[in-house]
A and B are shown apart, each in its own frame.
Chain A
Amino acid sequence: MTGRGLVLLALAGLLLAVAPLVGDRYVVSVLTTVLWFAYVGQAWNVMMGFSGLLSLGHTLYVGLGAYVSAALFVHYGVGPWAGMVPAMLVAVAVGTFIGFLGFRFGVKGVHFSLLTIAFAEVARIGFDHIQWLGGSGGFFLPVEAGVSDPLNLRGSPLLFYYVILALVVGALALSRVLLHSRLGYQWLAVREEPEAAEAVGVDLFRARMTAVAVSSALTALGGVFQAFYFNNLFPEQVFSMGRSIEIILPAIVGGIGTLIGPILGAFILTPLGEALTFVLEESGFDLPGLKQLFYGVALVVIVVFRPEGVWPWLARRLRLVRQPGEGA
């Protein structure tokens, strides 16, 4: 990044840190949603953006993280700070199992994506029948008004806001460290040209498996947050295909494979949705499906005009990153 880019990033961080002090409850709740999508988009980006593995079933890891941590809390009284570890481990176990199936048996490209959808769908239908977790009727975390217990992630919206903000910052930092590591270079090589990567010594299987492991673990953490923020889990929602797509849209709009892209994308899409709701309600034209229609049109416009994402374009225009040829 250029000096200008770093200053802007620091400013944005500062703004987000003080936003709840100036904004009302509504602003905080919208920003929490934005940051959640930024976080999960960042996690998904590790697989698709860094390693070229298109997962279309990322709700699987969100859901596993959510259900595992919620079950531990409700049934055994284990708080989320401890529960997030098994939540991540379960997601990693399932993720690497899918990865193992895919990479050992040569399930590539689109077919790998289908595999990820299939597992998410199996989870959606399967969790409907696990009565221990509420089945299709939903699984609920106990809610007590006015309780402030950060150790169990129980408290005001403000608590959740700062937790998700910390997660976004953490995921961004981790992604940056990974991308500049030996592993990160190998991921990018595998994404670009697997055959050539293998010829320069990259173990394709290991590189892809680590990408799946990191991505699923991070995503599961997003699931833990979701469980304790919303306090209710329905397989139909948590594991839905639509949700999987919602997760990947910010990264696509912002710029796949970039560090800032998923965050910027979330800051474009969620407010866009909110603004559409507001405008349609105010204008009295709120027909069913109209919001989705406008939302879809806006998406098409962005993707058609900025196919590589908004961030790479913005960064070039505002000189936020070094351009090729400007030296390292």
Chain B
Amino acid sequence: MTALLTVSGLSKRFRGLKAVSNVSFEVPEGRILALIGPNGAGKTTTFNLIAGVFPPDEGTVTLKGVRLTGLKPNRVCAAGIGRTFQIVKPFGELTVEENVVVGALARERSVAVARSQARAVLERLELLDQAARPARSLTLPDRKRLEVARALATRPTLLLLDEVLAGLRPTEVDRMVEVLRELNRREGMTILMIEHVMRAVMALSDQVVVLDHGEKIAEGTPAEVVADPRVVESYLGAEEG
């Protein structure tokens, strides 16, 4: 199985505090990998290092063998990584459709073509009926879906999802899980997701990487990971999934 994304020896310190320490893992093409761990474990920092928000102190990130380390976020996007934000960042004054058009324009020069692509993505995420509304007027679940839609519109080969299920009601979680599963199964989209909702992690992911205090403490299938005593102690036991 070929690795789409390879993270190796990634480290990042903030004012001496080790946020991420020598983390390595691979995301195989066409798979869903979940990054879990307690708050402050370094999950979002790892995401930001992959997405180019800041450069790592040590380590490398490669996508299909192409080195991304040190690239700015817009270049990382161009290389094929689409991301969502844990705290959603819609373009508030723009309409839902315009939000997604901006995403589509990452790979498309014509606004008209980008618009039709955006509408196709909105339809898939069941947001088409909201297309003309200002993004700021959406409910939280819809904003989360808009985050996914905007990232998808950039036509990524790897999708980074930062807690897109947090704050959703169980029925909404199920809907989103269904959308993500479809994306993965039908289009072979590779997904790296940070997630706290263990039910979704168990249902969706092929593989799980567990972080604690910035270090990788376990890796394996969802079943293996939940049975790991270190994981139970540091994460699952301490916090109700």
Proximity bits, A197-236, B CB within 8 Å = 1, else 0: 1111111100000000000000000000000000000000
Select which of A181, A189, A325, A326 is within 8 A of B111 by beta carbon.
A181
Minimum CB–CB distance for A105 against chain B, Å: 16
Stretch of B4-12, B82-90, B163-171 with 4 or more beta carbons under 8 angstroms from chain A: B82-90
Proximity bits, A173-191, B CB within 8 Å = 1, else 0: 0000000111001101100
Residue of B nearest to A325 (CB): B132
Minimum CB–CB distance for B210 against chain A, Å: 26
User: Are A195 and B89 in contact, with the CB atoms below 8 A?
Assistant: yes
Proximity bits, B68-79, A CB within 8 Å = 1, else 0: 000011100110
User: Are B103 and A200 in contact, with the CB atoms below 8 A?
Assistant: yes
Select which of B78, B91, B137 is within 8 A of A188 by beta carbon.
B91
Known: A180-B111, A189-B94, A192-B93. A198 touches B101 (CB 8 A): no
Which of A186, A188, A200 counts the most B-chain CB atoms under 10 A from its CB? Answer: A200
Q: Determine whether A193 belongs to the interface, using a CB cutoff of 8 Å to chain B.
A: yes
CA distance A180 to B98 in the complex (A): 10
User: Are B111 and A199 in contact, with the CB atoms below 8 A?
Assistant: no
Please, how many residues of chain B have a CB less than 8 angstroms from a CB on the other chain?
Answer: 37
Proximity bits, A263-296, B CB within 8 Å = 1, else 0: 0000000000000000000000000000000000
Name B129-167 residues within 8 Å CB distance of A.
132-134, 137, 150-151, 153-154
Residue of A nearest to B106 (CB): A201
User: Are A188 and B94 in contact, with the CB atoms below 8 A?
Assistant: yes
Select which of B72, B93, B103 is within 8 A of A198 by beta carbon.
B72
Q: Determine whether B189 belongs to the interface, using a CB cutoff of 8 Å to chain A.
A: no
Minimum CB–CB distance for B56 against chain A, Å: 18
User: Are A325 and B133 in contact, with the CB atoms below 8 A?
Assistant: yes
Known: A182-B111, A200-B150. A189 touches B91 (CB 8 A): yes
Q: Determine whether B109 belongs to the interface, using a CB cutoff of 8 Å to chain A.
A: yes
Residue of A nearest to B92 (CB): A192
Select which of A182, A199, A328 is within 8 A of B105 by beta carbon.
A182
**Residues of chain B lying within 8 A (CB to CB) of residue A146:** none
User: Are A202 and B74 in contact, with the CB atoms below 8 A?
Assistant: yes
Q: Determine whether A327 belongs to the interface, using a CB cutoff of 8 Å to chain B.
A: yes
Minimum CB–CB distance for B196 against chain A, Å: 21
CA distance A193 to B89 in the complex (A): 7
Name A247-263 residues within 8 Å CB distance of B.
257
Chain A interface size, under 10 / 10 to 19 / 20 to 34 / 35 or more = 20 to 34
Known: A185-B105, A185-B111. A324 touches B74 (CB 8 A): no
CA distance A197 to B153 in the complex (A): 13
Chief secondary structure at chain B's binding surface: mixed
Residue of B nearest to A203 (CB): B74
User: Are A202 and B85 in contact, with the CB atoms below 8 A?
Assistant: no
CA distance A166 to B114 in the complex (A): 33
CA distance A257 to B98 in the complex (A): 15
Q: Determine whether A196 belongs to the interface, using a CB cutoff of 8 Å to chain B.
A: yes
Residue of B nearest to A195 (CB): B89
User: Are A198 and B91 in contact, with the CB atoms below 8 A?
Assistant: no
Q: Determine whether B190 belongs to the interface, using a CB cutoff of 8 Å to chain A.
A: no
User: Are A193 and B91 in contact, with the CB atoms below 8 A?
Assistant: yes
Q: Determine whether B27 belongs to the interface, using a CB cutoff of 8 Å to chain A.
A: no
CA distance A201 to B108 in the complex (A): 11
**Residues of chain B lying within 8 A (CB to CB) of residue A201:** 74, 77-78, 103, 105-107, 154
**Residues of chain B lying within 8 A (CB to CB) of residue A203:** 72, 74
**Residues of chain B lying within 8 A (CB to CB) of residue A193:** 89-92
CA distance A323 to B144 in the complex (A): 24
Known: A181-B111, A189-B94, A192-B92. A200 touches B102 (CB 8 A): yes
Q: Determine whether B95 belongs to the interface, using a CB cutoff of 8 Å to chain A.
A: yes
Chosen A-B contacts, 8 in total, with CB atoms closer than 8 Å, are A188-B91, A188-B94, A192-B91, A196-B91, A200-B77, A200-B82, A201-B106, A203-B74
In the complex, given contacts A189-B102, A201-B106, what are 17 additional A-B residue pairs having Cβ atoms less than 8 angstroms apart? A181-B111, A182-B110, A189-B91, A193-B89, A196-B90, A198-B73, A199-B85, A200-B77, A200-B102, A201-B74, A201-B77, A201-B103, A201-B154, A203-B72, A324-B95, A324-B132, A325-B132
Q: Which residues of A contact B (CB under 8 A)?
A: 180-182, 185-186, 188-189, 192-193, 195-204, 257, 324-328
- Cβ-closest 10 pairs across A and B: A201-B106, A192-B91, A196-B89, A201-B77, A198-B73, A189-B102, A193-B89, A200-B103, A201-B74, A324-B132
